[in-house]
Chain A
Amino acid sequence: MIRALFVAGALLQLAALAAETTPPPVSEPVNPPADTNALLEGKLPEAPARALVQAKCLFCHTGEYVTMQRLTEKQWQGTVEKMRKFGAPVNDEEAKAMVAYLAQYWKPDLPPQRPVLVPPPPGSVPRK
């Protein structure tokens, strides 16, 4: 019995070590689950890659450009690559983390973003 417990403990330790040294595949959820309502309101869930998205994407455009998309992982990869070609300063490792983050939350089965009704921007309407 003691020997069996020892073997099981060793296996658990090995599994834990493997989890620490082997990065999870991109397609596996690596970020915490998000509140769907918050996603539909255009919020970026708290996760390590959130800061990357804020720093690397929101330099040129607001977050809605991200949060209105409903894309597959392959489409997110293509989008991030396109932005890198446009000059977004994103290295390979950062791109991988960003794609995992984006593909986990803004995926095809997420309902469309809720419309936000606002007054027209001041430069687009006649002055009163």
Chain B
Amino acid sequence: MTLDRRRFLQSSLATAGAATWWLNVPSFAAAKGSPELIRRTERPLNYESVRSTFTTRITPVERFYLRNHFDVPRIDVPKWRLNVHGLVEKPLSISLADLQRMPQVTIEAVLQCAGNGRGLFRPQVPGVQWQYGAMGSAEWTGVRLKDVLALARPKQDAAFLQYQGAERPTMNTTPQFIRAIPVQKAMHADTLVALKMNGKPLLPDRGQPARLVVPGWVGDDWVRYLADMELRADEPNTFYYNPGYRFPVTPGPPGAPVPADQMKPMTKVNVKSLLGSLSDGDRLRAGTHELVGVAFSGEAGIDHVDLSLDGGKTWTAAKLDGPATPYGFRVFRHSWKAEAGTHEIACRATDANGATQPEVPVWNPGGYLNNAIDRVRVEVQS
């Protein structure tokens, strides 16, 4: 008989004697009742998803993480415009209604903060100390960015698309959040100006009324409250593009400084997997448990996920749910007959290009792209 943790918790709570013991398990507390997020900072809004979120292909909006550099802008949606200018034949200013009248497409894709897992690097690095939950996968619906740009007729020498949202820093001396992607990625058929998340119009904190969706690429490119786009021949030189959000060309030893000219902008998210059905320190009853988690990899899609039930000594293939997806979460599961004792469970994904996860995070000064093999230690009691 297979029992998932929540059902087992419910049956355990039916017996009063077990209640106190089970309530000590943090991930169970999060799974009960209304959704909760881990608050990293209240202002600006930086909230991460709890680990138990990651057992489904699509992340519900209310369980999805939030990442902000500044306060959320309050936008008068009927008056909102998206401006496109720079190296174009016909500068453009379009409304939400204009975008809604254009052909709409839906893409399933993971949004992950480049700093997800920063709090797990040693030595530590400054920044929001995300652990596991600065990621989620959603169905994004909107207009192809290339269709919007086509209306403005980009010139031949346009090589980069620079853009920013409506949010502004508290002090006008603080750099604004300005990002850029190469025109090739901007013109990719799956790059969207999204108006909906999981089938519903974007909510105020989720980028209302429009956000960029750059499937397979790091979250800092997915700018919200989209307001301004400039086609240009060169890369911007603003703080959040240079030196911000950069990764070493050749990572060095942990803690070692990296010269600025040896840092490059991040693009694709690397292959990663996370166990959602168990958290570090959980205590379980002996018996059969279903291990469930999610795996993803930039633009490649997942080939297979291996699980280790003995701390990485041996590995076994997990079952993958549903159809393959190039950009989204692939749910994996495995039936585990747990015996009494302490166990370290690990998961390791391999993508369609053969890339897999490292044993330890690849240290870098910004604390980015942590895709080390996920491990949780649990105690099984007979």
Contact = CB atoms under 8 A, between A and B. Distances in A.
B38 A117 contact: yes
Contacts of B47: 118, 120-121, 124
Given A60-B170, A64-B40, A86-B173, A75 B200 contact: no
Interface in A31-89: 59-62, 64-65, 68-72, 75, 78-79, 86-88
A124 B66 contact: yes
Contacts of A62: 41-43
B317 interface: no
A70 B128 CA distance: 11
Given A70-B124, A79-B126, A124-B205, A87 B171 contact: yes
Contacts of A79: 126
A72 to B, nearest CB: 8
Contact of A119 (B29, B34, B129): B34
A126 B199 CA distance: 12
B376 interface: no
For the residues of A in contact with B, the DSSP-based class is loop
B62 A125 contact: yes
A112 interface: yes
Contacts of B124: 69-71, 75, 108
For the residues of B in contact with A, the DSSP-based class is loop
Given A61-B41, A71-B124, A117 B36 contact: yes
A65 B41 contact: yes
Given A115-B38, A123-B72, A60 B205 contact: no
Contacts of B41: 61-62, 64-65, 68
Nearest to A125: B62
A123 B205 CA distance: 5
A116 interface: yes
B45 A121 contact: yes
A86 B203 contact: no
Contacts of B200: 126
Contacts of A123: 72, 203-205
Interface in A95-128: 108, 112-113, 115-121, 123-126
Nearest to A70: B124
Interface string B142-179: 00000000000000000000000000011111110000
Interface of B: 26, 29-30, 34-45, 47, 50, 61-64, 66, 72, 119, 123-126, 128-129, 169-175, 200, 203-206
Given A124-B204, A124-B206, 19 more contacts: A59-B170, A60-B171, A60-B174, A62-B41, A64-B40, A64-B41, A68-B119, A70-B124, A86-B174, A87-B173, A115-B38, A117-B30, A117-B39, A118-B38, A118-B47, A119-B36, A120-B35, A123-B203, A123-B205
13 contacts: A60-B171, A64-B41, A68-B41, A68-B128, A69-B126, A117-B39, A118-B47, A120-B63, A123-B72, A124-B47, A125-B62, A126-B61, A126-B62
Interface of A: 59-62, 64-65, 68-72, 75, 78-79, 86-88, 108, 112-113, 115-121, 123-126
